[in-house]
Structure 1
Amino acid sequence: MDARRVGLFGGSFDPVHNGHVALARLALAHLALDRVVWIPVGHPWQKARRLAPADHRLAMVRAAVADEPRFLVDDCEIRRPGPSYTLETVHELRARWPGVQEWFLLLGEDQYAGLPTWHGWQDLVQCVTLAVAARDARVPVPTGALRAVPHRLEVLPLPTWPVSSTLVRQRLAAGQDVDALVPPAVARYIACHRLYLTD
């Protein structure tokens, strides 16, 4: 990869929605990134809910980001057997792209607060700069174990965005329109494959 500053954006993306795209575009601009790598989760060890099949989630992310050349979709977590650990993903991508000088991990405030529950989180925060999306540009305050571990933090000032994957799934299960919540290509994909008709 010909890039020096790269953001990593992992998630279930079940389905990917306009809020995800807005956050990734904000990260590109605010952090002066050369690339944002989208990484759909393979086996989310912290989620009890069953996700849509990985091939559908991967295809929806690819459809959502096709018009932005600085977005790249990587299926390493889907291909890798066993639980999807972010630390393993970061190690794999750093080995694959040794020319990258700085890695940023895009997170929501809830993920930042829950980081000490992640596998190998103390090693993870030594490998990346945490880029945390915060409402009203407020600086997230580390709590508990996270407060005791030095880490690099950048704040992404994310406007209020009233959309979530849960809302999208609920509306689809109820037979309601989601065109305002997801990119047009994702809406077409969901309709074509009749996804999320029951939740």
Structure 2
Amino acid sequence: MAKIGIYGSSFDPVTNVHLWTASTVAHRCKLDKVIFLPCSSKRQDKKLTASDEHRLNMVRIATEDNDKFEVDDYEMNQLGWEIATYLTLKHFREKYPGDDIYFIMGADLLIDIGEGKWRHAEELIRDNKFIVMARDGINMLAAISKSPILRNADDGQTFHLIDKGLAMEISSSYIRDEFKMGGEPRYLMPDKVYAYIKSHALYK
């Protein structure tokens, strides 16, 4: 039985912190595989700059040298109104029926789910397992205890709380802004991703 982490994000663009986070989580949580799941531009809650094709290509070239990393375009192929994390995780549980599936997310998203801001929030927590990464200023244990949705699902296995040990936050929006303003964010992302962005004149 394998342990698989699902790492969803806009990846607009993918950064070195995305890769470092996935590697750290895989090592700490003994994951056999991390699946990078770029979100779809059809999602109502996302405002993306690069196209689905470009973001998918960038994640693929960023992860191609790591045998533990895979890329999946599942959400990009779904109808906009059918995209929900609950349904996505159901898909992966059915795809890997004999394996443990974990959704990798930040503590800020845990709070949003606990406040019922996500579709199918109760079912999402009830049916899945989560690896939750610390965020500055967020007490993860307090967030769980304050939310009826979260605390009533906390059986000791639903939430794996992890502090990466380093407040290393490079946002994709920062990189986009640097490109737009003529800055030089080269070393905030893999060289191949930087070259891809330059060759396709993205984020101008």
- The TM-score normalised by the length of structure 1 is 0.89
* Whole-Å separation in 2 of the counterparts to 1:96 and 1:162: 32
Superposition pairs for residues 48-127 of structure 1, below 5 Å?
Answer: 49-83=47-81, 84-100=83-99, 102-115=100-113, 116-127=116-127
Contact 2:43-2:80 at 8 Å conserved across structures = no
1: CA distance, partners of 2:176 / 2:148? 34
DSSP-derived class of the 1:32 partner: coil
C-alpha deviation, 1:183, in angstroms: 1.1
Q: Residue 45 of structure 1 aligns to which amino acid in structure 2?
A: Q
Bigger proportion of residues as helix? 2
Fraction of identical pairs, as percent: 29
Deviations 1:36-80 (A, max 9, x none): 011101123223x24321001111111111111111100000011
In structure 2, C-alpha distance between the alignment counterparts of 1:166 and 1:183, rounded to whole Å: 16
Unaligned runs of 5+ in 2: none
Count residues in correspondence: 193
Could you say which residue in structure 1 is the equivalent of 2:26? 28
In the TM superposition, residue 93 of structure 1 has moved relative to its aligned partner by 1.4
Q: Which residue number in structure 2 is paired with residue 134 of structure 1?
A: 134
Measure how far apart 1:148 and its partner are.
Answer: 4.5
Other-structure match for 1:185: 192
Rounded to whole Å, the distance in 1 between the matches of 2:111 and 2:135 is 14
Q: Please name the residue that 1:150 is paired with.
A: 153
The Cα shift of 1:4 comes to 1.3
Unaligned residue ranges in structure 1 (runs of 5+): none
Using the alignment, how far apart are the partners of 1:18 and 1:56 within structure 2?
Answer: 17
User: Could you tell me which residue of structure 1 aligns to residue 39 of structure 2?
Assistant: 41
2:14·2:189 contact (CA, 8 Å) conserved in 1? yes
Once residues 181 and 125 of structure 2 are traced to their aligned partners in structure 1, the CA distance between those partners, rounded to angstroms, is 41
User: How far 1:19 moved relative to its partner?
Assistant: 1.1
| Residues 102 and 128 in structure 2, CA contact (< 8 A), matched pair in contact too | yes
Runs of 4+ in 1 over 6 A off after TM superposition: none
Structure 2 residue corresponding to 1:171, chosen from 166, 173, 178: 178
State how far apart, in whole Å, the 1-side matches of 2:112 and 2:187 are.
30
Alpha carbons of 1:51 and 1:44: their partners in 2 closer, same or farther (altered >3 Å)? farther
Q: Give, in whole Å, the separation in 1 of the partners of 2:12 and 2:56.
A: 9
Alpha-carbon distance between aligned partners in 1 of 2:150 and 2:90, rounded to the nearest angstrom: 24
Supply the distance in 2 between the matched residues of 1:145 and 1:59 (Cα, whole angstroms): 40
What do you get for the CA RMSD once the two structures are aligned?
1.9
Q: Residue type of the partner of 1:117?
A: K
Question: CA distance change for structure 1 residues 148 and 31 in 2, over 3 Å: closer, same or farther?
Answer: closer
Secondary structure at the counterpart of residue 185 of structure 1: helix
Partner of 1:16: 14
Distance (whole Å) between structure 1 residues aligned to residue 150 and residue 92 of structure 2: 27
For 1:133-152, what per-residue CA distance to the aligned partner results, in whole angstroms no more than 9, with x for missing partners? 1157x851223444453132
For 1:134 and 1:25, how far apart are their aligned partners in 2? Answer: 15
